[in-house]
């Protein structure tokens, strides 16, 4: 069937496995940096940090989630000659490389960087910037030197700190990885692999919006095409599948997804039916404008309702039978439709506009209690 084919195509857009290579000489703070990137505390750190600097010298392969592999190594050149076939295989499948540097520029690291660059996109990361907190000019100078050796723009080198993961450290964590995190998230979102990493993060709401908003804008455009109902349904259920993976680390099957989006939206009386019927008629400006508006509001309400359901720790098993989920969808549809009355065409096409609005609605319903809010209306 058409929807089957569309869903298959949408599923193929999402990466099925993510592999990241982290390369840097001993004592540059790779393990601490990884803990910071993954938003870990000292008590629940995922990557062990040695009390004595430089004691972890062997390459390590971390399977840290259902579909995420991290290669942590002090050098790739040795990996190719001395390490296992498994390590070599991982190198050939890298999606992203983090080349970690610290301290004075070292020409001996240039070949390691070039080797990593041969396998994947590479982010250069200058770690332990806290050592330069009282000598900013010296930090700029050493980064310029590294940039010259590696033949990169100094402004593209991320400056990070991930201090305090050592068990003997009695101070607070000093984490400065936001820019690096944002860069990683943006890169992986473009590769359709962000959800694989985001599943392992604590702060999921922002990643949910990165799934929802592009789908909303896509469905608005799809509403203008022939047989748009098929494409819109496929886009919606694929986004639902990604949201489920984000919260539960599991891809839903097509049989689980088949009736999900239309069933959740059943409370928004006639809206799905309108899109289905419109799909088979010649386009007109008036009907197309209405269809685009319906597609925007309906898709947004469905996906945010699912987000709220999942964020509360619930699953999507038999979700199509959930009256509460349908009621939340209906409430959101009304809220969004009301908000769009004062929106400009520029707003309707803006990711920022949709992200801010839907984030606000989601937080409001999560903070109060979606059930209470539904009962008020």
Report the 3 state secondary structure along the chain.
CHHHHHHHHHHHHCCCCEEEEEECCCCCCHHHHHHHHCCCCCCCCCCCCCCCCCCCCCCEEEEEECCEEEEEECCHHHHHHHCCHHHHHHHCCCCEEEEEECCCCCHHHHHHHHHHHHHCEEEEEECCHHHHCCCHHHHHHHHHHHHHHHCCCHHHCEECEEECCCCCCCCCCEEECHHHHHHHHHHHHHCCCHHHHHCCCCCCHHHHHHHHHHHHHHHHHHCCCCCHHHHHHHHHHHHHHHHHHHHHCCCCCHHHHCCHHHHHHHHCCCHHHHHHHHCCCCCCHHHHHHHHHHHHHHHHHHHHHHHHHHHCCCCCCCHHHCHHHHHHHHHHHHHHHHHHCCCCHHHHCCHHHHHHHHHHHHHHHHHHCHHHHHHHC
Whole-number pLDDT of residue 262: 60
pLDDT at 13: 65
Averaged pLDDT of the chain = 82
pLDDT at 280: 42
What pLDDT is stored for residue 100 in this prediction?
97
Q: Residue 79: is its pLDDT beyond 90?
A: no
How far from the centroid of its chain's Cα atoms is residue 362's Cα?
Answer: 18
Residue tagged 């790739």 (tokens) = 76
pLDDT band at 277 (very low <50, low <70, confident <90, very high): very low
Query: So what's the pLDDT on residue 57?
Result: 57
Q: Could you tell me the pLDDT band of residue 216, with boundaries at 50, 70 and 90?
A: very high
- In the chain, the percentage of residues whose pLDDT exceeds 90 is 47
Domains of the chain: 17-188 (3.40.50.300), 204-376 (no CATH)
Q: Among the ranges 57-71, 139-153, 253-267, which has the highest mean pLDDT value?
A: 139-153
Q: Could you read off the pLDDT of 280-302 as tens digits, one per residue?
A: 444 444 344 455 677 788 899 99
- Predicted confidence band of residue 78 (pLDDT cuts 50, 70, 90): low
Is pLDDT at 278 greater than 60 in this prediction?
no
Distance CA 188, CA 371 (A): 35
Question: Average pLDDT for residues 198-213, to the nearest whole number?
Answer: 94
As given in the structure block, the two tokens for residue 79 are 């990996």
Q: Nearest CA to 69 among 95, 43, 40, 88?
A: 95
Instruction: Tell me the pLDDT band of 348, cut-offs 50, 70 and 90.
Output: confident
pLDDT at residue 56 greater than cutoff 60? no
Band (pLDDT 50/70/90 cuts) for residue 276 is very low
What value does the mean pLDDT take over residues 30-51?
85
pTM of the predicted protein model: 0.84
Over residues 137-144, mean pLDDT: 96
Band (pLDDT 50/70/90 cuts) for residue 318 is low
| 1-10, 97-106, 170-179, 319-328, range with the lowest pLDDT | 1-10
pLDDT confidence of residue 233: 79
pLDDT of 188: 95
Q: What integer is the mean pLDDT of 141-147?
A: 97
pLDDT of residue 286: 37
Across residues 157-166, what is the average pLDDT? 94
pLDDT of residue 273: 44
pLDDT given for residue 253 in this prediction: 76
Mean pLDDT of 258-272: 55
Q: Which residues contact 275 (CB under 8 A, 6 or more apart)?
A: 223, 228, 229, 232, 291, 294, 295, 298
Closest by CA to 315, choosing from 213, 234, 223, 247, is 247
Confidence of residue 261 (pLDDT cuts 50, 70, 90): low
For the purposes of burial, counting CB atoms within 10 Å of the CB of 304, is it exposed (0-12), middle (13-18) or buried (19 or more)?
buried
- Per the CB < 8 A criterion, the answer to whether 29 and 208 are in contact is no
Q: What's the confidence (pLDDT) of residue 138?
A: 96
Rounded Cα distance, 115 and 151, in Å:
14
Is the pLDDT score of 209 beyond 90?
yes
């Amino acid at each position: 069937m058409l929807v089957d084919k569309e869903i298959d195509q949408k599923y193929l857009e999402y990466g099925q496995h993510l592999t990241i290579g982290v390369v840097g000489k001993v004592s540059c703070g790779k393990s601490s940096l990884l803990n910071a990137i993954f938003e870990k505390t000292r008590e629940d750190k995922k990557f062990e940090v040695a009390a004595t600097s430089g004691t972890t010298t062997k390459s390590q392969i971390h399977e840290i989630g259902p579909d995420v592999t991290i290669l942590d190594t002090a050098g790739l050149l040795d990996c190719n000659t001395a390490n296992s076939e498994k390590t070599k295989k991982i190198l050939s499948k890298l999606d992203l490389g983090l080349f970690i540097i610290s301290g004075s520029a070292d020409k001996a690291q240039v070949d390691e960087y070039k080797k990593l660059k041969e396998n994947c996109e590479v982010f250069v990361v200058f770690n332990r910037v806290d050592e330069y907190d009282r000598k900013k000019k010296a930090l700029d100078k050493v980064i310029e030197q590294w940039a010259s050796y590696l033949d990169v723009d100094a402004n593209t080198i991320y400056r990070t700190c991930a201090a305090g993961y050592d068990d003997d450290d009695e101070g607070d964590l000093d984490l400065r990885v936001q820019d690096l995190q944002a860069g990683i998230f943006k890169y992986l979102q473009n590769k359709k692999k962000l959800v694989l990493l985001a599943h392992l993060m604590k702060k999921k709401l922002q990643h949910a919006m990165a799934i929802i908003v592009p789908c909303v804008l896509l469905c608005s455009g799809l509403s203008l095409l022939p047989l748009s109902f098929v494409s819109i349904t496929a886009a919606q259920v694929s986004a639902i599948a990604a949201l489920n993976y984000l919260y539960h680390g599991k891809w839903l099957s097509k049989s689980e997804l088949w009736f999900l989006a239309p069933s959740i939206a059943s409370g928004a009386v006639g809206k799905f039916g309108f899109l289905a019927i419109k799909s088979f008629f010649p386009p007109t400006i008036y009907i197309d404008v209405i269809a685009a508006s319906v597609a925007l509001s309906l898709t947004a309400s469905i996906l945010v309702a699912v987000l709220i359901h999942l964020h509360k720790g619930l699953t999507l098993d038999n979700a199509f039978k959930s009256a509460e989920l349908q009621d939340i969808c209906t409430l959101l549809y009304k809220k969004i439709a009301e908000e769009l009355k004062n929106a400009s065409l520029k707003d309707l096409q803006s990711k920022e506009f949709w992200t801010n609005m839907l984030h606000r609605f989601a937080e409001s319903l999560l903070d109060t209690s979606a059930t209470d809010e539904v009962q008020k209306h």
